[in-house]
Amino acid sequence: MRPQFLYEKNLQGVANSVKRKQEQYRKIVRHLYYNGAASIAEIVKAVKMSQPLVASLVDDLMGYGMLLDNGVGESIGGRRPNLFCINSEYQYVIGVDINLHTLNLAVFDLSNKQIFREETKYFDLENSDEYLNSLIEKIESMISQLGIPREKYLAVGISIPGLVDAKQGLSHTHLSVAENGLARVLGDRLGINVLLDNDARTMALGEKAFGKAIDKENVLCLNLSNGIGLGMILNGELHSGKNGFAGEFGHILIDPEGKLCYCGKIGCLETLTSGKILVKNIREAVDNGQPTLLASYKKENRKIDLRAVVEAILQGDQFAIDQLNQMCEYLGKGLVTLIHLLNPEMVIIGGKIAHAGKFVIDPVTMSMNKYAMSRISSETELVCSDLLDDSALMGTMANVMRSVLSLD
């Protein structure tokens, strides 16, 4: 019985024995995917099945081409073990990272390597059939360019901003033109299964699988770009809430006497800290003659956007640093609320502002020290992502594999 390795998991009408065997296959593949090449003996320990059984299952999987012999490993005092690994070319995953103005596409093999990567700038997200069509066109052209047969694609993982109900495959904020749900519409048109989630949550999955959250159980991932997104790993699992609305960190109340937010409420964190506000404030200051590196950027006719601001900060521009510090004070306040509520072991800052590195970490840390109960906050490490701009894209891969290899 060929390994299905996918959404057929809960297929009804299939004999129990088939389901059982598929689950055994999945356990082995799962271990090899998450831990790399291993010997039969190692797999036995990890999957809690007997050695003859594991040996025969591995044999099957080799026969189907899903696993490969990976030579012999080092001895630890006896016969040297035969190692096995996943055939990274057995299947592929398409990753789609949708941003407000940019589209990132990638194709991953089963060793998580990007065998294709493309960034399309000025690909502005809008709720129209045209956008949907050109998105599909982009993916199709990538598929035909690569020449890999369609059935080799395990799934398409998508990251998109806004409110997303991953379970149902719905995107509420963007691309609601897809009437039967974005995941289904894209899946039908591409002929490949589609898995959808919100950008911040996808980033969190990326960090958990490939970034600083590996082996951590309670991690918060902030997506600091134009807005503020939050993806949470709690008890080792992604938290999405009842409808997938969890993580609206940008709209928690920070200043009751603050400004009106576009969400209709007053004093939201996003009215005080966000890439958008930072850029806006700096642009105004430049117009008012504030001396800063960014003023010279403007003279050179370079656009003052978030990327430029971060660049100026990294070059030590005092005014931009001051502006960032001010925002980090508020961000720290907000984070303290999070930490008090959730007691995470790590907070990872991602998004465009994460490029500023210690220029964000340090002032946020200071602010947290000021506002948090130290017994709690001292348990939480604050770091910048090292996946940076790749975290959402890597997250789509992580999301697909998590779904495919889940054990229930």
- String of contacts with its own copies for each residue 125-164, x by CB under 8 A: --------------------------------------x-
Beta bridge pairs of residue 108: 93, 114
Q: Work out what residue 75 binds among DNA, its own copies, none; the CB cut-off runs from 5 to 8 Å by kind.
A: DNA
Single out the residue of 14, 253, 293, 361 in contact with its own copies (rule: CB under 8 A): 253
The DSSP result for 257-304, as a single string, is TSPBPTTS-BSBGGGTS-HHHHHHHHHHHHHTT--SHHHHHHHTT---
For DNA, the binding residue among 14, 37, 41, 293 (CB under 7 A) is 41
Closest by CA position to 407, among listed 2, 125, 120, 9: 9
Minimum distance of its own copies from residue 99's CB (angstroms): 22
Q: Does 292 bind its own copies (CB under 8 A)?
A: no
In the complex with its own copies, the residue whose CB is nearer, 52 or 291, is 52
Query: According to the binding rule CB under 8 A, does residue 373 interact with its own copies?
Result: yes
Cα–Cα distance between 127 and 106 in angstroms, integer? Answer: 23
* Contacts to DNA from residues 53-112, by CB under 7 A: 53, 55, 72, 75-82
Question: C-alpha angle with apex 390: 384 to 394, nearest 5 degrees?
Answer: 110
Interacting positions 12-51 with its own copies (CB under 8 A): 16, 48
150 touches which of DNA, its own copies, none (CB within 5 to 8 A by kind)?
none
Say whether residue 218 binds its own copies (CB under 8 A): yes
Is 102 buried (19+), middle (13-18) or exposed (0-12) by CB count in 10 A?
Answer: middle
Annotate 182-205 with b (16+ C-beta within 10 A) or e (fewer).
bbbbbbebbebbbbbbbbbbbbbb
Quick one: what does residue 51 bind among DNA, its own copies, none, with the CB cut-off 5 to 8 Å set by partner type? DNA
Q: How far from 259 is each of 46, 256, 266, CA to CA, in Å?
A: 54, 9, 6
Q: Of 279 and 336, which CB lies nearer to its own copies in the complex structure?
A: 336
Identified binder of DNA from the candidate list 2, 34, 51, 176, rule CB under 7 A: 51
Q: Distance between CA 121 and CA 138 in Å, rounded? A: 13
Q: Return the range that interacts with DNA (CB under 7 A); candidates 20-28, 217-225, 246-254, 283-291.
A: 20-28
- Quote the tokens at residue 69: 């012999």
- Return d(Cα 348, Cα 386) in angstroms, integer: 9
Position 230 contacts its own copies (CB under 8 A): yes
**Which one, 10 or 301, has the nearer CB to its own copies?**
10
d(CA 272, CA 192): 42
In whole angstroms, how close is the CB of 76 to DNA at the nearest point?
5
Q: Which does 362 bind (CB under 5 to 8 A by kind): DNA, its own copies, none?
A: none
CA angle 33, 103, 349 (to 5 degrees): 65
Distance CA 326, CA 280 (A): 14
H or E element in which residue 171 lies = strand 170-171
Contacts with its own copies by CB under 8 A lie at: 16, 48, 163, 172, 217-218, 230, 234-235, 237, 239-249, 251-257, 263-265, 333, 336-338, 340-345, 371-373, 375-376, 379-380
Contacts with DNA by CB under 7 A lie at: 15-17, 20-21, 24, 39-42, 49-53, 55, 72, 75-82
